[in-house]
Structures are given as structure tokens and as C-alpha cells.
Amino acid sequence: MSDDNTSEKAVKPRKIQTPPGIHDILPKEHDYFTFIKKVVRHRARQSGFRRISTPILEFTEVFDRSIGDSTDIVQKEMYTFEDRGGRSMTLKPEGTAGVVRAYVQHGMKEFPQPVELYYIEPHFRYDRPQKGRYRQFWQFGFEIIGESDPALDVQCIYIANKIFEDLGVANRLTLQINNIGSPKSRAKYVEAIENFYVGKERSLCENCLARLETNPLRLLDCKEEDCQILAQLAPKFEQFRSEEDNHFHNLVKEFLDELEIKFVENEQLVRGLDYYTQTVFEFWDSETGSQNAVGGGGRYDGLVEELGGESTPGTGFSVGIERLIYHMKQANIQVPSKDNVHVFVAQLGDLAKKKCLRLMDQLRERGVKTVGALGKGSMKAQMKLADKFGVPYTLIMGITEVREGTVIIRDMAKGQQRFVKMEQVVEEVVKLIGEENLDLYSPGEVTVMP
């Protein structure tokens, strides 16, 4: 054998990993995802929201124009590339821009207003991967487009709160709210902030120095200690809010009080996306604060127009599902799993296998969750597999049983087994499992239009 041949043989294809910050969702984790989706869907339906899915891939312009050129998301975090047709495309880093693009594109202005939509989708940001910060992450979000009223902002917060309560994490989170006013009052405030930082540049971190040029409001929520000290001394927005802004903000607070939703007023909360006007809010980890907020949102009265529609107000929020699951686990919240299997079917010989295929179908149609060893394993190997699945009962069919028209039912916990006639085995198993435990979920009947 030549050397070349030997080295060819020795090369084993290397294992491929997911890219940094991008993860598989394995079955155990999916129990949480499934449960959260159920809660979100229930709370959405209860309040008249309808589901929307926008594409994962949009023209880059959708995000440039909405999130803002100078934001971290647009500057550093978008997955942007040219497609084969030379168009600039971006994997969506957040959900609001796409929903608003869809509102304009599909003429939803003609629908009864406000239009209330929700989504549960993956998003992509080229963030530095760390705990709670991923490059692909899931969000659910709610958007109310078409009307401007503080009560609608509070509706969003109320729904988020209900979902947190349902999931057992509400007491781990603190609602932070602020009002960043209309674009007009904010422009005056930005000017005051710029003036305040004149001569203080040397105390700022590199990021803030750059933001002073591009997005001065973001200096207020920098996490660096020196920047935070300065931010505390900076002029407060309160002095720049117009009477209208104040009225709006006061109503938000009154409505929250009415619903007994606790909040902290936070003058420094500005959010990382440019489209906000008036109300902004975030749900913080009560212990660690602003780092890794679980959710956030606010009002975006200029966004529809920014994306080519008529001037139309909007408000909404979204929540990071991975961060939510982290809190559920921290709070020892167990979610129900429907993945447990009732029955394992073991068989020997092709004839038995044939009978088993039919039996498995009958069991499943009756609501018994059934798996079968349909490979070539010995009876011993099949019984080991049954143990692995943790099933309460195993059905065994060998050559003798096929000949005699019987099946063995084995009670796995007691280690006892008995023969049952083939025709009776399904009902016998149902009795053992209990009608109430059968998996008879039906998605609803379909109808054929005449």
C-alpha cells in the first residue's frame, strides 16, 4: 500500500459545530419553547391580536431606514450581504421594521384600526456572544399600529406582564419606563446633551466618544462606570418635555396604576433603536438591572411614514425567548412535556414486524403514544431500548404469538407479563394507560368549500 493511500484513509472528516453564538434547540429545550408559544398565542388571541410572519431576509433598507444609521444594530450587528442579483440583503435583527413594512406594503391602513399583530420568530445580530447574548435568538413581539393613545402603550405592557405571570417569572422582572417625547422636544434635548459633554470628552469611553457624534442620547445608558457618573449629572429630559409629552406620560402612569402594574421611572432609559417616540420601556432582571433586559418596546409614531406609508402611529414590544427561559429555569419552573411515550412495541421476525406496523397504527389512532423497534435488534436489545424510553408497557410479538394471534403485554415496573388476544390488545392498553392520558389532540376539522 502506498503512503498516499494510508494518509487518505487516515483523514476522517472533522465534526462541524454551529457558528459562535448560534445554537441548536434540542428536544428538552423545545418543551420550554412550546410552552411559551402556547402562552403567547393564548394571550394574543384573548386580546384580538393576529399572527404575522415577515421574511427572515429583507432589503437592508428596511432596517437602515427604521432602526437608524447610527445605532449599534445597524453599524455593527447586522448580517448584511449582497445577493446574486447585487441587492443588499439583511437577516432581520428585530421584528418591528418588517411588520411595519408589511403594514405599508399590504395596505393595512384600510383594515379596521388599530391593526394588532404578533410574531414568534428568530432574529440575527452579530453581537459579541456571551451569556444571554446570541447571534441567532428568538423573540415574540406584539405591535399595535394605527392609533396613538397612552392606553395602547399600557395594553402592550399589560400583555407582556400577563405572559410573565403565566410563565412564573413576573416577580423576577422590573418594569422600567420613560418618555422620550416627540422628535421636536427630543431635538432640543439632544442639543442640550451635546453642550453638556463639551469639554468632558476625555472622561468618555471610546464608544461614547463616537456616539457623541452620531447618537448622543445613547450616552445616557452606557454601562461604563465613568460614563454612568457623567450621565447622572447630564440634563434630564424632564426639562425638555412639552406639555403634550407630559400629559401623555402621566396618562401612561395612571393607566399602569389602574391595572396595578408596578414600574420604575427611569429618566436614562432611551433604548437602542432610533424609531421610538414618547413611551419607551424595558423589563429588567430585578437583580442585575439593565444588562440582558428580557424585553423592551415603546411607541414609534414616525416609523410607518419613514417606511413609505402615511403618517400613522404605532406601539409595541418584544421579548427574548432564550432570556425568558433562563429566568424560568432560575425560578425552577418546570414545563409540561408531552413527549413521554406510553407503549413500546417489540417484535421478532418479518411476519411479526408486519403485524406490529398495523398494531402501532391502531394504537396511535386511539391516542396511545407508541414507538416500535423496527430495526434488526435482538429481543434483548429491543427490551433495553424500551427501558431507555422509560415506557410503562411493552408489547411483545414473536413467531409463536403471531401463530396464536396473541400479544404479550409487559408491565415494565412490575416485570410481569401476560398474553392478550390480538383483537383486544388496543382496548386493553387503553385501560392500562387511562382514557384521560390519551393523546387525542386534534387541530380541528378542515372543511371543503363547495
Which residues of the shown chain bind ligand HAM in the complex (CB under 6 A)?
Answer: 94-96, 125, 127, 132-134, 137, 139, 141, 143, 272-273, 293-298, 316-320, 322-323
Residue nearest to ligand HAM (CB): 320
Prior bond of 20 cis (ω within 30°)? no
Q: Shortest Cβ distance from residue 39 to ligand HAM (Å)?
A: 16
Considering beta carbons, is residue 70 or 417 the nearer one to ligand HAM?
Answer: 70
Q: Shortest Cβ distance from residue 105 to ligand HAM (Å)?
A: 18
Residue 448 CB coordination number (10 Å) = 4
Q: Which grid cell is 227?
A: 460614563
Considering beta carbons, is residue 185 or 318 the nearer one to ligand HAM?
Answer: 318
Q: Shortest Cβ distance from residue 185 to ligand HAM (Å)?
A: 20
Considering beta carbons, is residue 318 or 347 the nearer one to ligand HAM?
Answer: 318
CA-based end-to-end distance of the chain: 73
How many residues are there in the chain?
A: 450
Distance CA 153, CA 142 (A): 11
Q: Shortest Cβ distance from residue 125 to ligand HAM (Å)?
A: 5
Laid out side by side, the sheet with 80-82 consists of 57-59, 88-91, 80-82
The burial of 24, by beta-carbon neighbours within 10 Å (0-12 exposed, 13-18 middle, 19 or more buried), is given as exposed
18, 29, 36, 164, 360 from 33: Cα distances, Å: 20, 7, 5, 14, 29
Q: Shortest Cβ distance from residue 221 to ligand HAM (Å)?
A: 11
Q: Which residue has the cell 459579541?
A: 128
Nearest to 433 by CA among 340, 373, 343: 343
**Beta carbons of 25 and 122 less than 8 angstroms apart:** no
Considering beta carbons, is residue 133 or 364 the nearer one to ligand HAM?
Answer: 133
Nearest to 317 by CA among 337, 297, 339: 297
Q: Shortest Cβ distance from residue 154 to ligand HAM (Å)?
A: 14
Q: Shortest Cβ distance from residue 120 to ligand HAM (Å)?
A: 12
Q: Shortest Cβ distance from residue 245 to ligand HAM (Å)?
A: 18
Q: Which residue has the cell 433604548?
A: 271
Phi, psi of 235 (to 5 degrees): -55, 145
Considering beta carbons, is residue 307 or 385 the nearer one to ligand HAM?
Answer: 307
Considering beta carbons, is residue 274 or 322 the nearer one to ligand HAM?
Answer: 322
Considering beta carbons, is residue 101 or 323 the nearer one to ligand HAM?
Answer: 323
Considering beta carbons, is residue 49 or 134 the nearer one to ligand HAM?
Answer: 134
Nearest to 326 by CA among 146, 126, 148, 173: 173
Q: Shortest Cβ distance from residue 64 to ligand HAM (Å)?
A: 15
Considering beta carbons, is residue 36 or 396 the nearer one to ligand HAM?
Answer: 36
β-pair type (88-91, 57-59):
antiparallel
Distance CA 312, CA 145 (A): 7
